[in-house]
């Protein structure tokens, strides 16, 4: 008795038949042509002396349908229906009574009308029929207010501990809904709820655990105690156990692994859930472990083992859940998933295309260089059978694989160009184009090939946005920043004119002026002008082509052609004006304009006061060897288990938006947050170190947890006695430390430009305290100065090094001066295996593994890992690490470093010595 999905007023048709049979076989929706007035007339049947239960059910069904379709009932109409429905309580028909409960809940009577039905519902609450009791509890809790709730509180508490599971669950679920507006009353039921949590019925226990957590949702300490007690109790319900696993994951999410490899609190509980008899609990625990922040390979191992067993399950839902979780784990810990590759290869031919797609993308993230061609062949066989959403996942996995193995860029680029020519929606084509753009920027050898594929694509591209993006890339350049999603933005720079034969791209661009819409034509005109400005030998031919655009029927196209012709002929600023450089910080400019518009002033806006943007020095091209761009955007580095996510992109916009920090230029590297306070203290402070060419900016994320105080003028004072290479420059204070929110204050220190300065810094949090008046809730006008001693902060050589992608390690190694080479040997102690040792050292150095050398072959007794990075000042540094393990599992390492200076090589060795 449901309406059709597309049109609730259209008739429902049976199975497709021949045209002559359709008239006889047509079925109609019971709601076809339904009218509110007619239904209200039918509702008078509620007042009949002899009530017909079946007819009343049909009328209530129509009323519910109208209500759920958004039909508005006037107050008088709703009251008449409500009073009519209440008269049906005299009829003892179970089906009719259930429809009545639904109708009363949906009509939501006013406070005056609730009293009329309360007595009938109270009578049902004391009925011997469980169905009446449970539904009456739900209806009462939906329609009553706090005053009436206090009167029936005794009945609800009894219902929570009722022997009938249906009644107990109804009362618990109703309490969850009542928490929003009547929390104080519900909190008085905690003893009954705890008793219900020991109920043998699975559903009752599930609802009781959910309510216990909701009662403590705003108190982290209380939740921790609840989780501790529940993990020791016997929670037998699989659903309740799943909830408990999620609550445990929340509790340990902010906790860090203990010193000397100690386990997190409650981790042993999650691991024990992996041996639960219910599959849903096993999967929930495995997923919780995989989602832990900063999870280690040792913690992941039991979860990966369980998920590997699910891969061979006969149930499609288990296979899908396992492969999707492993797919996410492979983004950060691909080496941990490699043991599942054999099982996932069998899933490539799975009948469920979603499972097959996730399996192939996981293999792309965990596979080695020799398996690339085989995987591409398998992907091609089913790409046409899957939806665009899954195709996008495949494309992103291929992009990551190409960045991991640059030597395979030709095969992977050919695959991307092949799927680009196939049918697909906008988002799918956009993902492919942006992937090619990333590869063009990160892998120099792929530039010519990628530009050629994109030029062929725009010859038959139906999407205006993508055509203009490619044209901007050809002539105006693009900057690709890869964070959580790929963002493509124009910058001042040219790709097409810098190639060996820029003239071959002119034909593709001019075809757009002839064949495309006005938006693409305008972009093509600008692209041609950029070629003319950058390539003087081509300028006369481009001027001829631009003159043909002067007769275009679009104003924008004609105006651009006129302007660029004048510029290329030496007027209107000359060819240099075709690509003007905006040398102001755009974020600071936006803020300055907003402040100007907000303030009452008659003075014209002065752009001189806006901070200028400083262009960072690029890495040396002569020694790139395939080094990708690692600007403040963080680069598009492939994520591996041994590399850390570069958080620079997350903070770059914030730093540029602060006027005091904008003149410092572009940030070179942002480090991971470091906690400077104990957990559960009155103030929570984290520090992020931002490295600039000649400065270090310390960002302090501050949170106040005391509701009775307001903290103003917050800043952090630094004692640099043990960090003599730094000098404090200035601070950017925080006006007010937010309650349970995050605010930022900054302290800036200077050092010699390009120097690797280190030391220990003592930090003191300073602020003004203003007490809050309990009566008015307002802060006092006058406060008092106070301070809070924070944990010491260390600046190490590792803070000045960040990973960079390298295409040809051997070539880059040979190009560096051998005189800068420094070699030493280190003992790494007892380890479970070489893989653990390799990951530990890579994690300490924070550099990028090259050529897949982070993966140690099974049962290997020796291994060599290659790392690449750049130091502040864009100085290249390369590392070769040779590991060996003896029969007692003692690991030794030989570390060889080459850099642009001997000081830098020594600094890398110092990182290992200090670790």
What is the 3-state secondary structure of 614-629? CCCCCCCHHHCCCCCC
pLDDT at 469: 82
Percent of the chain with pLDDT over 90: 6
3-state secondary structure at position 766: strand
Angle (deg, nearest 10), helices 130-143 and 165-178? 0
What is the DSSP code string of 71-102? PPPPHHHHHHHHHHHHGGGGS--HHHHHHHHH
pLDDT band at 697 (very low <50, low <70, confident <90, very high): very high
The tokens for 700 are 């302090």
pLDDT over 50 at 521, yes or no: yes
Contact present, 432 and 879 (Cβ < 8 Å): no
| b/e sequence 31-66, b meaning 16+ C-beta within 10 Å | beebeeeebbeebeebeeeebebeebbbbbbbbbbb
DSSP 106-141: HH---HHHHHHHHHHHHHHHT-S-HHHHHHHHHHHH
DSSP label of 779:
B
Q: Is the predicted pLDDT of residue 3 greater than 60, yes or no?
A: no
Q: What is the pLDDT of residue 477?
A: 45
By C-alpha distance, which of 430, 423, 507, 431 is closest to 468?
A: 430
**713: its two tokens:** 């003028």
Q: pLDDT class for 475, splitting at 50, 70, 90?
A: low
Residue 687 or 140, more confident:
687
- Listed in sequence order, the residues at least 6 apart from 223 whose beta carbon sits closer than 8 Å to its beta carbon are 213, 216, 217, 247, 250, 251
pLDDT of residue 622: 36
* 454: nearest Cα among 469, 476, 443: 469
What's the confidence (pLDDT) of residue 325? 92
User: Which tokens go with 429?
Assistant: 């084509």
Residues 581, 492: contact at Cβ < 8 Å?
yes
3-state secondary structure of 370: helix
- The answer on pLDDT for 720 being more than 70 is yes
Residue with tokens 């499972």: 355
Question: Residue 28 — very low, low, confident or very high, per pLDDT cuts 50/70/90?
Answer: low
Report whether pLDDT(492) > 50.
no
Q: Confirm if 10 and 26 have CB atoms less than 8 A apart.
A: no
Backbone angles phi, psi at 355, to 5 degrees: -65, -45
* pLDDT score of 897: 92
Domain map (residue ranges) of the chain: 650-795, 800-914
- Name the more confident of 411 and 317: 317
* Reported confidence tier of residue 683, pLDDT bands at 50, 70, 90: confident
Answer for the pair 60, 87: CB distance below 8 angstroms, yes or no: no
Q: Which residue has the higher pLDDT, 375 or 25?
A: 375
Place 443 in a pLDDT band, splitting at 50, 70 and 90.
Answer: confident
Q: At residue 493, does pLDDT exceed 50?
A: no
Q: pLDDT at residue 320 above 90?
A: yes
Fold identical between 650-795 and 800-914?
no
Mean pLDDT score across all residues of the chain: 79
State whether the Cα torsion 585-587-592-597 is positive or negative.
Answer: positive
pLDDT for residue 612: 55
Residues forming beta bridges with residue 771, ordered by sequence position: 709
The closest alpha carbon to 171, from 183, 184, 186, belongs to: 186
Region of poorest pLDDT, from 49-53, 113-117, 377-381, 627-631: 627-631
pLDDT over 60 (residue 195) = yes
For residue 852, the SS3 value is coil
CATH topology of domain 800-914: TATA-Binding Protein (3.30.310)
What's the whole-number mean pLDDT along residues 353-375? Answer: 78
Lowest mean pLDDT among 55-59, 176-180, 252-256, 735-739: 252-256
Q: Which residues, 6+ apart, have CB-to-CB distance to 878 below 8 Å?
A: 806, 809, 812, 813, 816, 866, 867, 868, 869, 897, 898, 899
Least confident of 132-136, 261-265, 750-754: 261-265
pLDDT at position 321 is 92
Q: How many CB atoms lie within 10 A of CB 201?
A: 18
Q: Is the pLDDT of residue 698 over 90?
A: yes
How many angstroms separate the CA atoms of 854 and 279, rounded? Answer: 34
Quick one: average pLDDT of 81-90?
Answer: 83
CB 881 within 8 Å of CB 895: yes
| Helix (H) or strand (E) run with residue 877 in it | strand 875-885
Instruction: Output 774 or 201, whichever has higher pLDDT.
Output: 201
pLDDT cut 70: percent of the chain above it: 85
Rounded to 10 degrees, the C-alpha dihedral 355/359/362/367 comes to: -170
State the average pLDDT over residues 408-429: 82
Q: The tokens of 376 are what? A: 């591409």
Cα–Cα distance, 533 to 569 (Å, whole number):
10
The confidence score (pLDDT) of residue 594 equals 81
Q: What is the pLDDT of residues 812-825, one digit of tens each?
A: 888 888 898 999 88
Q: Is 29 a residue whose pLDDT tops 70?
A: no
Tokens (6 digits) for 39: 């239904």
Length of the chain in residues, anyone?
A: 915
| pLDDT score for 12 | 40
Q: What is the pLDDT of residue 53?
A: 86
Torsions phi, psi for 234 (to 5 deg): -100, 90
How big is the chain by its Cα radius of gyration, in Å? Answer: 34
pLDDT-derived band at 569 (thresholds 50, 70, 90) equals confident
Name the least confident of 55-64, 354-363, 891-900. 354-363
Spatial separation of the C-alpha atoms in residues 156 and 461, rounded to whole Å = 65
Residue 226 in contact with residue 244, Cβ under 8 Å? no
Q: Taking residues 89-106, report their average pLDDT.
A: 84
**Which of 199-208, 212-221, 273-282 has the lowest average pLDDT?**
212-221
What's the pLDDT score for residue 10?
42
Residue bearing the bigger pLDDT, 337 or 698: 698
Question: Token pair of 328, please?
Answer: 């996410």
pLDDT tens digits, 723-771: 888 888 899 998 888 777 788 899 999 988 877 888 889 999 999 888 8
User: Which two structure tokens, joined as six digits, stand for 714?
Assistant: 């917050």
- For 161-182, write each residue's pLDDT tens digit: 888 899 899 889 888 888 888 8
Q: Residue 869's closest CA among 858, 860, 878, 861? A: 878
Question: What is the pLDDT at residue 601?
Answer: 76
Q: CATH assignment of 650-795?
A: 2.60.40.1480
Q: Averaged over 350-367, what is the pLDDT?
A: 81
Residue 908 has pLDDT above 80, yes or no: yes
pLDDT at 626: 35
Non-local (6+) Cβ contacts of 329 within 8 A are 290, 300, 304, 336, 337
- pLDDT (mean) for 108-121: 72
Candidates 542, 546, 570, 544; CA nearest to 557 is 546
pLDDT for position 256: 52
pLDDT digits (tens, 9 = 90+) for 791-808: 889 888 888 888 887 767
pLDDT tens per residue across span 765-788? 999 888 887 777 677 878 888 888
Residue 110 pLDDT grade (very low, low, confident, very high; cuts 50, 70, 90): low
pLDDT at 263 over 80: no
With beta carbons less than 8 A apart as the criterion, state whether 10 and 32 touch: yes
Render pLDDT for 621-655 as a digit per residue (tens, 0 to 9). 333 333 333 333 333 333 333 334 456 767 787 88
Higher pLDDT, 452 or 20: 452
Distances (CA, A) of 880 to 186, 198, 822: 63, 59, 11
Q: Are 182 and 210 in contact (CB under 8 A)?
A: no
Are 848 and 867 a contacting pair, CB within 8 Å?
yes
**Separation CA 398–CA 318 (nearest Å):** 26
pLDDT of residue 637: 31
Residue 545 has pLDDT above 70, yes or no: yes
């Amino acid at each position: 008795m449901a309406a059709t999905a597309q049109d609730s007023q259209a008739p429902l048709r049976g199975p497709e038949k021949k045209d002559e049979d359709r008239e006889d076989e047509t079925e109609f929706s019971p709601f076809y042509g339904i009218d509110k007035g007619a239904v209200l007339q039918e509702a008078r049947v509620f007042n009949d002396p002899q009530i017909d239960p079946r007819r009343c059910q049909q009328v209530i069904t129509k009323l519910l349908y109208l209500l759920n379709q958004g039909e508005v009932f006037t107050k008088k109409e709703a009251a008449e229906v409500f009073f009519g429905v209440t008269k049906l309580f005299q009829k003892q028909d179970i089906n009719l009574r259930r429809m009545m409960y639904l109708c009363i809940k949906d009509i939501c009577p006013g406070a005056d009308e609730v009293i009329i039905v309360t007595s009938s519902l109270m009578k049902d609450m004391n009925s011997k029929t469980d169905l009446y009791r449970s539904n009456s509890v739900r209806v009462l809790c939906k329609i009553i207010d706090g005053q009436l709730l206090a009167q029936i509180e005794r009945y609800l508490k009894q219902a929570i501990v009722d022997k009938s599971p249906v009644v107990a669950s109804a009362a618990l679920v109703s309490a969850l809904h009542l928490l929003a507006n009547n929390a104080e009353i519900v909190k008085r039921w905690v003893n009954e709820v705890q008793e219900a949590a020991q109920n043998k019925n699975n559903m009752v226990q599930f609802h009781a655990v959910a309510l216990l957590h909701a009662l403590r949702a705003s108190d982290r300490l209380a939740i921790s105690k609840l989780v501790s007690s529940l993990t020791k109790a016997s929670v037998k319900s699989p659903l309740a156990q799943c909830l408990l696993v999620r609550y445990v994951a929340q509790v340990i999410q902010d906790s860090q692994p203990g010193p000397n490899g100690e386990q997190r609190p409650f981790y042993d509980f999650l691991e024990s859930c992996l041996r639960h008899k219910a599959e849903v609990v096993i999967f929930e625990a495995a997923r919780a472990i995989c989602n832990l922040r900063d999870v280690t390979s040792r913690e992941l191992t039991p979860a990966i083992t369980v998920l590997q067993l699910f891969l061979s399950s006969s149930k499609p839902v288990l296979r899908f859940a396992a492969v999707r979780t492993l797919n996410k784990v492979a983004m950060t810990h691909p080496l941990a998933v490699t043991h599942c590759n054999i099982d996932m290869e069998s899933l490539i031919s799975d009948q469920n295309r979603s499972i097959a797609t996730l399996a192939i993308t996981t293999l792309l993230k965990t596979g080695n260089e020799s398996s690339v061609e085989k995987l591409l062949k398998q992907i091609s066989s089913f790409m046409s059978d899957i939806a665009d959403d899954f195709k996008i996942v495949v494309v992103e996995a291929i992009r990551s694989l190409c960045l991991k193995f640059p030597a395979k860029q030709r095969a992977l680029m050919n695959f991307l160009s092949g799927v680009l020519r196939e049918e697909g929606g906008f988002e799918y084509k956009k993902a492919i184009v942006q992937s090619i753009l990333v590869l063009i920027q990160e892998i120099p050898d792929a530039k010519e090939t990628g530009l050629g594929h994109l030029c062929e694509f725009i010859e038959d591209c139906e999407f205006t946005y993508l055509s203009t993006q490619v044209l901007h890339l050809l002539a105006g350049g693009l900057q690709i920043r890869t964070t959580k999603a790929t963002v493509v933005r124009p910058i001042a720079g040219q790709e097409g004119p810098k190639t060996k034969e820029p003239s071959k791209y002119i034909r593709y661009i001019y075809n757009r002026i002839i064949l495309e819409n006005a938006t693409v034509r305008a972009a093509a005109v600008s692209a041609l002008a950029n070629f003319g400005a950058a390539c003087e030998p081509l300028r006369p031919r481009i001027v001829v082509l631009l003159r043909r655009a002067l007769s275009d029927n679009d104003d924008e196209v004609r105006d651009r052609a006129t302007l660029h012709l004048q510029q290329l002929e030496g007027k209107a600023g000359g060819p240099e004006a075709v690509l003007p450089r905006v040398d102001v910080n755009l974020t600071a400019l936006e803020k300055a304009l907003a402040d100007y518009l907000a303030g009452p002033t008659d003075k014209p806006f002065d752009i001189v006061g806006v901070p200028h943007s400083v262009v960072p020095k690029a890495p040396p091209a002569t020694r790139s060897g395939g080094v990708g761009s690692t600007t403040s955007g963080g680069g598009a580095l492939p994520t591996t288990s041994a590399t850390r996510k570069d958080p620079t992109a997350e903070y770059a916009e914030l730093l540029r938006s602060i006027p005091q920090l904008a003149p410092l230029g572009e940030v070179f590297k942002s480090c991971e947050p470091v906690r400077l306070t104990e957990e559960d203290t009155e103030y929570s402070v984290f520090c992020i170190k931002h490295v600039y060419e000649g400065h270090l900016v310390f960002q302090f994320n501050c949170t106040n947890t005391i509701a009775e105080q307001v903290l103003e003028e917050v800043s952090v004072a630094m004692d640099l006695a043990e960090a003599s290479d730094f000098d404090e420059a200035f601070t950017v204070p925080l006006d007010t430390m937010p309650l349970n929110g995050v605010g930022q204050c900054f302290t800036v220190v200077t050092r010699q430009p390009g120097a690797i300065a280190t030391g220990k810094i003592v930090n003191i949090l300073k602020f003004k305290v203003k007490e809050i008046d309990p009566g008015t809730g307002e802060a006092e006008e006058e406060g008092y100065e106070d301070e809070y001693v924070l944990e010491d902060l260390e600046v190490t050589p590792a803070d000045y090094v960040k990973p960079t992608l390298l295409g040809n390690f051997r070539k880059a190694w040979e190009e560096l001066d051998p005189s800068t080479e420094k070699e030493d040997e280190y003992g790494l102690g007892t380890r479970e295996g070489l893989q653990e040792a390799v990951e530990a050292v890579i994690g300490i150095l924070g550099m990028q593994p090259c050529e897949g050398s982070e993966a140690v072959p099974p049962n290997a007794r020796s291994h060599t890992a290659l790392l690449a990075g750049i130091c502040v000042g864009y100085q290249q540094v390369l590392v070769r690490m040779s590991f060996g393990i003896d029969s007692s599992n003692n690991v030794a390492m030989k570390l060889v470093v080459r850099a642009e200076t001997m000081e830098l090589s020594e600094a890398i060795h110092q990182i290992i010595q200090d670790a």
